[in-house]
Structure 1
Amino acid sequence: MGCLLKQGGGLYARLRIGAVLLAAGEGRRMGGVAKPLIRLQGVPLIKRQLIALSGAGVDEVVVVTGFERDAVEAQVQDFPVTLAHNANYEQGQQGSVRTGLSALRGNFDAVFVLLVDQPLISADDLTELIAAFKKKPAGHVVVPVVNGQRGNPVLMDAEVLAKVLASEANLGCRQLLDKQPELVHVHETSNTRFVTDLDTLEDVAKLTQRTGWKLELPTREPSA
Structure 2
Amino acid sequence: MTQSKPYAQIRVCAVLLAAGEGSRMGNIPKCLIQLDGQTLLQRQLIALTEAGVDAVMVVSGHHHLAVERELETLKVLYPMRVIRNTHADKGQATSVRVGIETLGSDFDAVIMALSDQPFIDSQDIKALIATFKKRTAGEIILPMFNGQRGNPIILSGSVMKTILASGAEMVCRNFMDQHPELVYQWQTQNDHYVVDLDTPEDLKTLSTKMGLIFSLPNSNSV
Q: TM-score, normalised by structure 1?
A: 0.91
Question: 1:98–1:164: 8 Å Cα contact kept in structure 2?
Answer: no
Query: Match for residue 75 of structure 1?
Result: 70
2:10 match: secondary structure: coil
Matches within 5 A, 1:14-163: 14-77=9-72, 78=76, 79-104=78-103, 107-163=106-162
1:76 match: secondary structure: helix
Superposed displacement of residue 168, structure 1: 4.2
Letter in 2 for 1:75: E
Question: 2:137–2:184: 8 Å Cα contact kept in structure 1?
Answer: yes
Question: 1:17–1:110: 8 Å Cα contact kept in structure 2?
Answer: yes
Taking the aligned partners of 2:105 and 2:139, their CA distance within structure 1 comes to 19
Superposed displacement of residue 124, structure 1: 0.1
Structure 2 unaligned spans of 5+ = none
Superposed displacement of residue 10, structure 1: 3.7
1:144 match: secondary structure: strand
Taking the aligned partners of 1:107 and 1:171, their CA distance within structure 2 comes to 19
Letter in 1 for 2:82: L
Letter in 1 for 2:190: N
Taking the aligned partners of 1:53 and 1:188, their CA distance within structure 2 comes to 21
Question: 2:105–2:161: 8 Å Cα contact kept in structure 1?
Answer: no
Taking the aligned partners of 2:38 and 2:168, their CA distance within structure 1 comes to 35
Question: 2:97–2:168: 8 Å Cα contact kept in structure 1?
Answer: no
Superposed displacement of residue 178, structure 1: 1.4
Deviations 1:143-192 (A, max 9, x none): 10001101000000112212322334444311221121011011110000
Question: 1:24–1:64: 8 Å Cα contact kept in structure 2?
Answer: yes
1:164–1:105: structure 2 CA closer, same or farther, 3 Å change rule?
A: closer
Taking the aligned partners of 1:41 and 1:196, their CA distance within structure 2 comes to 17
1:205–1:167: structure 2 CA closer, same or farther, 3 Å change rule?
A: farther
Taking the aligned partners of 1:167 and 1:25, their CA distance within structure 2 comes to 25
Letter in 2 for 1:12: Y
Question: 2:58–2:81: 8 Å Cα contact kept in structure 1?
Answer: yes
1:145 match: secondary structure: strand
Structure 1 unaligned spans of 5+ = 1-8
Letter in 2 for 1:141: I
Letter in 1 for 2:40: L
Mean CA deviation greater in 143-152 or 166-175:
166-175
Query: Match for residue 3 of structure 1?
Result: none
Identity among equivalent positions (%) equals 46
Taking the aligned partners of 1:217 and 1:167, their CA distance within structure 2 comes to 39
Deviations 1:66-113 (A, max 9, x none): 011121112222232100100010111111011111121572110100
